[in-house]
């Protein structure tokens, strides 16, 4: 190769090297620029959202993440947790009829003696009827007598609802902690009867030896801390009895509540002590509930015999027949026919009357 050719070759190599360097430099600049843009995208502050804090917080991650643009619902501080709903009562029952009537009575038969014809009219109208008996009405005679009275009540309700048939029995422990037995006629969920089976307090209010002279009245007044069902099971407190009535009312959502005249009313003296206590329990438990209180009716008990007769004709005939069916299971007050039932001392006069009172009519002292 000549010297001229060598010089030309070296010049070409220098130009290629210079071009390569320039290319490398330009590439480095481009890469740096891209990296700068990428770095800005990574470390720039997140945009504020409606629910976020007023001061945006920059991301410190090394790469973009799905949280770079948070959703407005991502901040729990802006949301109040909902209040959990109270659990439904195991005894809750809806109603497909026009309305629900809840009865709370001291003894099995108080409903058909003092509460009729209101109850039979409700059943005839297609209403749901939920009846609760607080005491067993045992009269110190034990469970054989209790079960006989309960059977009589179920047969009386068969007569009122115009259908014969068997009843399904379910044992329930309510949210209040009280154990109850519920019976519902097969194929007719409009009707249910609930028994708490607490001891009968006796006409004197002193109770019976067989149940240790423990009474609902003594429980209500604070004389005893608890009361055990005659069928066994856990004892219940005054607060549990009140809570049970309120729980059942909430579970049934009644438009009307039927019960006894409470203590303190001008119509209470001379009534059975259990009647008055149950009326007071219902009033204490439900009278402050605006959805229920206007529909509470307090029925005059034993003192109704001093008021004018106001049940007669076909209505009286139907009432007496329902009562007669019940008495076939009650050895104490059994009557064979209409005349015998109406001729029974005191009971015949109570059957001829039914006096529901509103809160305003109680004449509380």
* pLDDT tens-place string over residues 35-46: 333 333 333 333
User: Which range (48-62, 74-88, 124-138) has the least confidence?
Assistant: 48-62
Final residue belonging to a domain, choices 12, 37, 64: 64
Structural domain contains residue 74: no
Tell me: do 166 and 250 sit in the same domain. Answer: yes
Tell me: do 107 and 196 sit in the same domain. Answer: yes
Q: Which residue is listed with tokens 């219940």?
A: 236
pLDDT in tens, 122-152: 999 999 999 999 999 999 999 999 999 999 9
Tell me: do 105 and 162 sit in the same domain. Answer: yes
pLDDT-based confidence at 88, cuts 50/70/90?
confident
User: Which range (80-89, 111-120, 184-193, 263-272) has the least confidence?
Assistant: 80-89
Is the model's pLDDT at 109 over the cut of 90? yes
Is the model's pLDDT at 89 over the cut of 90? yes
Averaged over 288-300, what is the pLDDT? 98
pTM: 0.77
Tell me: do 20 and 155 sit in the same domain. Answer: no
Amino acid 365: pLDDT: 83
Q: Which residues of 307-329 are buried (b: 16+ CB within 10 A; e: fewer)?
A: eeeebeeeebebbbbbbbbbbeb
pLDDT-based confidence at 81, cuts 50/70/90?
low
Is the model's pLDDT at 194 over the cut of 70? yes
Q: Which residue is listed with tokens 């005249």?
A: 261
Tokens describing residue 191:
């009707």
Average pLDDT, the chain: 84
Q: How many domains does the chain have?
A: 2
Averaged over 356-362, what is the pLDDT? 98
Long-range contacts of 341-349 (CB under 8 A, 24+ apart): 346/302, 346/305, 347/113, 347/323, 349/304, 349/305, 349/309
Is the model's pLDDT at 173 over the cut of 70? yes
Q: What are phi and psi of 18, to 5 degrees?
A: -60, -40
- Cβ atoms 59, 68 nearer than 8 A: yes
Amino acid 86: pLDDT: 60
Tell me: do 350 and 288 sit in the same domain. Answer: yes
Closest of 255, 311, 26, 265 to residue 125, by C-alpha:
255
Tell me: do 228 and 314 sit in the same domain. Answer: yes
Beta strands, E only, the chain: 100-105, 128-135, 167-173, 179-185, 191-198, 256-260, 296-299, 356-357
Q: Domain containing 36: what range?
A: 3-64
Of all residues in the chain, what percent carry a pLDDT higher than 90? 76
């Amino acid at each position: 190769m000549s010297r001229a050719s060598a010089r030309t070759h070296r010049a070409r190599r220098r130009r290629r090297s210079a071009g390569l360097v320039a290319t490398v430099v330009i590439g480095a600049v481009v890469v740096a620029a891209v990296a700068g843009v990428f770095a800005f995208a990574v470390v720039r502050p997140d945009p504020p959202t409606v629910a976020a804090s007023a001061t945006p917080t920059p991301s410190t991650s090394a790469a973009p993440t799905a949280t770079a643009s948070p959703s407005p619902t991502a901040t729990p501080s802006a949301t109040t947790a909902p209040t959990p709903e109270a659990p439904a009562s195991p005894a809750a029952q809806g109603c497909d009829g026009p309305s629900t009537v809840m009865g709370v009575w001291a003894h099995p038969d108080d409903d058909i003696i003092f509460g009729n014809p209101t109850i039979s009219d409700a059943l005839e109208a297609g209403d749901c009827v939920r009846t609760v008996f607080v005491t067993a009405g045992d009269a110190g005679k034990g469970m054989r007598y209790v079960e006989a009275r309960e059977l009589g009540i179920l047969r009386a309700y068969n007569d009122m609802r115009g259908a014969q048939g068997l009843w399904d029995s379910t044992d329930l422990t309510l949210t209040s902690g009280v154990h109850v037995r519920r019976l519902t006629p097969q194929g007719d969920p409009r009707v249910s009867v609930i028994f708490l089976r607490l001891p009968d307090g006796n006409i004197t209010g002193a109770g019976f030896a067989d149940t240790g002279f423990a009474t609902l009245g003594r429980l209500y007044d604070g004389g005893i801390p608890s009361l055990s069902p005659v069928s066994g099971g856990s004892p219940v407190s005054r607060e549990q009895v009140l809570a049970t009535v309120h729980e059942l009312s909430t579970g049934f959502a009644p438009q009307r509540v039927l019960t006894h005249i409470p203590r303190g009313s001008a119509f209470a003296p001379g009534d059975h002590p259990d009647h008055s206590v149950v009326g007071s329990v219902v009033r204490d438990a439900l009278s402050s509930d605006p959805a229920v209180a206007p529909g509470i009716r307090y029925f005059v008990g034993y003192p109704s015999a001093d008021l004018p007769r106001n049940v007669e004709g076909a209505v009286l005939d139907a009432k007496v027949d329902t009562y007669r069916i019940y008495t076939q299971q009650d050895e104490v007050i059994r009557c064979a026919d209409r005349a015998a039932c109406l001729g029974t001392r005191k009971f015949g006069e109570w059957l001829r009357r039914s006096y529901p009172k509103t809160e305003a009519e109680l004449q509380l002292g």
